[in-house]
Structure 1
Amino acid sequence: MASKLMHALQYSGYGGGADSLKHVEVAVPDPKADEVLVKIEAATLNPIDWKIQAGALRPFLPRKFPTIPGTDVAGEVVQAGSAVKRFKTGDKVVAILSHANGGGLAEYAVAKENLTVTRPPEVSAPDGAALPVAALTAHQALTQAANIKLDGSGERKNILITAASGGVGHYAVQLAKMGNTHVTATCGARNLDFVKGLGADEVLDYKTPEGASLNSPSGKKYDYVIHGASGIPWSTFEPNLSATGKVIDLTPTPSAMMTFALKKLTFSKKQLVPLLLIPKTENFDYVVNLVKEGKLKTVIDSKHPLKKAEEAWSRIMSGHATGKIIIEP
């Protein structure tokens, strides 16, 4: 299909925010042997998308300019590579694209077979597209970094989730409550009832003295912190942690990496653990199936047409989205 053109959004250098996004007509990509070509029905943005544009991972990402950003898509397979076994033309899927190549803000994208899963009829395209980075990050943080068993078994743990009304946070609260946990969460004042409705046991307004100090209203010390906010120093976390408490940092900064190294070197039982998402097909299938069964819900902040995707970009940069921002053709 390479001779056919498609509408896409791209940028040609670092910086510039939404103003640097350009609407272009480019060739529909051809799938390699292990890839499927997906006609996109919905895509979603994550904070990492605008951070890459801002140069947070330069010179490694993006791999080349111009680049079409976006990694989380749902749609229909229109062509399968020669080595693809699990999918055929017409299959409805959810896929996570690589940050190196992106491609989500377009009418079509190519996805690796091993990073693509079937989307059942019960899961809408927007609900499916919202899942990859956000839900998989929450799942990995809870089940692998924090060793929470989502079947409710295991000893009870006290969990703190920061930025609980955001993309990762709103999934993390729901998933954590499937386990044997007491969940304290932080968010802005306007989202207190929303986060409580997701299942959090205690909710703190992060702008109040109690919220800023992260003190649990019931006096609990946290065994694990799923940390998706920014600007909170280790010194704020440390007195709130249990003797072996760990802060699982979803967006580690250079100073956080220094704290991680220092705690390792001094054999501290309280640890800061940087998390790097490693998508796995079985985890991907698991979260999609939870949505199918009505056990995990996607909260959509706003929807934007591809032709006005700059609005979605500005919204994700604001840091005030409740749930996920969706882009549709």
Structure 2
Amino acid sequence: MGVSTLAGFLPLLSTILGTDVAGEVVGVGPGVKNLKLGDKVVAMLTHATGGGLAEFATSQESLTVKRPLEVSAADGAGLHVAGLTAHQALTKSAGIKLDGSGQPKNILVTAASGGVGHYAVQLAKLGNAHVTATCGSRNIDLVKSLGADEVLDYKTTEGAALKSPSGRKYDAVVHCATGVPWSVFEPNLSENGKVIDITPSASSMLTFAMKKLTFSKKHLVPLLLIPKGENIEYLVGLLKEGKLKTVVDSKHPLSKAEEAWAKSMDGHATGKIIVEP
């Protein structure tokens, strides 16, 4: 499998899975077929193939796509891990058809102003879902602007209980927060509702096993991201068409990458944190 060398990119502080970058191809391996020197690209870097907080990086061709002029480097750099996680949770786990051709479903997105959450809200609306979302009070207007039909302040009694203001039961929950026990989710789920946990803990894995053993119709689904190039290309296309947007929390120079990392670890970023040259 060929690799491409990227320069002048914008590394995205992301999950432990990998890092996202945007930049220009300055070198290609002998197996590369679809990229050439000078191409503007966005790419997902895994820990197996290297990190992103440096002036140069290498990426697999299969996880690298050309960046259209309509998509800024920052928007592209923010997309891969978070966008792919939201995409997989909704399409594979929740069964949402993003062209809107499927049956309408009720979706809850927790931590909807965060990296994965803000993409999940937008993608769920493309799939004709009714979206209830949770976030902090300062981000309620933002999440509404992304398309959420109902927004709960997670610090209120109603928000902590995750109850839909319109009384809806959720067919699926894209769970981007932490520390919410199954007992809070269960009464809010439809008969065959599921909780898709993007950061499964030991307790959530135990819940997953117990629901399987007891043949419960309501269950928890730990999400293991399987990145695919065609899905990256699809999401970049949505950015180009204006059907999806990246919310940028802040931008930091590469020389102060540690400040960006600290902000990311604080856990209260709105959207994505970008490191740029």
TM-score by length of 2: 0.98
CA contact (8 A) 2:132 2:148 kept: yes
Secondary structure in structure 2 of the residue aligned to 1:163: coil
Distance (whole Å) between structure 2 residues aligned to residue 214 and residue 154 of structure 1: 25
Residue 230 of structure 1 pairs with residue 178 of structure 2: yes
Task: Specify the alignment match of 1:44 in structure 2.
Answer: 12
Question: Is the aligned partner of 1:35 residue 2:37?
Answer: no
Q: Percent sequence identity over matched residues?
A: 71
Listed as ranges, the matches of 1:1-16 within 5 Å are none
Could you tell me how far 1:101 is from its partner in structure 2? 4.1
1:72 is the counterpart of 2:40: no
The structural deviation recorded for 1:299 is 0.7
Q: Distance in 2 between matches of 1:163 and 1:71?
A: 21
SS at the partner of 2:9? strand
Equivalent residues in 2 for 1:178-327 (5 A)? 178-327=126-275
Q: Which residue of 2 aligns with 1:120?
A: 68
Alpha-carbon distance in 2 for matches of 1:162, 1:122:
30
Matched residues in 2 for 1:104 and 1:197: separation? 31
- Aligned equivalents of 1:83 and 1:212: distance in 2? 52
Equivalence map 1:71-220=2 (5 Å): 71-220=19-168
Question: Residues of 2 paired with 1:100 and 1:240: CA distance?
Answer: 39
Question: In structure 2, what residue type is equivalent to 1:178?
Answer: L
Secondary structure of the structure 1 residue equivalent to 2:191: strand
Question: Deviation at 1:99?
Answer: 2.5
| Contact 2:96/2:127, CA 8 A, preserved across alignment | yes
| One-letter amino acid of the structure 2 residue matched with residue 247 of structure 1 | V
Separation of aligned partners in 2, 1:47 and 1:77: 24
What is the identity, as a one-letter code, of the residue corresponding to 2:167? G
Structure 2 runs not aligned, ≥5 long:
none
Q: Measure the CA separation in 2 of the matches of 1:74 and 1:243.
A: 43
> Partner of 1:21 in structure 2?
none
| Rounded Cα–Cα distance in structure 2 between residues aligned with 1:321 and 1:221 | 29
SS at 1:41's partner residue? coil
User: CA separation in 2, counterparts of 1:291 and 1:187?
Assistant: 23
Deviation digits for residues 83-133 of structure 1, max 9, x if unmatched? 110111111111111123432000000001111111111111111000010
Q: CA deviation at 1:151?
A: 1.0
* Structure 1 runs of 4+ with >2 Å offset: 99-102
RMSD: 1.0
Cα distance in 2 for partners of 1:43, 1:164 equals 22
How many residues end up aligned between the 2 structures? 277
| Per-residue deviation, residues 57-77 of structure 1 (Å, max 9, x unmatched) | xxxxxxxxxxxxx61101001
**What is the deviation of 1:34?**
1.1
Distance 1:114 1:195 in 2: 32
Q: Are the counterparts in 2 of residues 40 and 109 from structure 1 also a CA contact under 8 Å?
A: no
Structure-2 separation of matches of 1:128 and 1:95? 8
Cα distance between partner residues in 2 of 1:73 and 1:200: 28
So what's the TM-score if we normalise by structure 1?
A: 0.83
CA distance in 1, matches of 2:2, 2:99: 34
Deviation string 1:216-243 (CA, Å, 9 cap, x unpaired) is 0000000000000000000100000000
- 1:30-89, Cα deviation, whole Å (9 max, x unpaired): xxx61111113211111437xxxxxxxxxxxxxxxxxxxx61101001000011101111
Output the CA distance in 2 between the equivalents of 1:323 and 1:262. 34
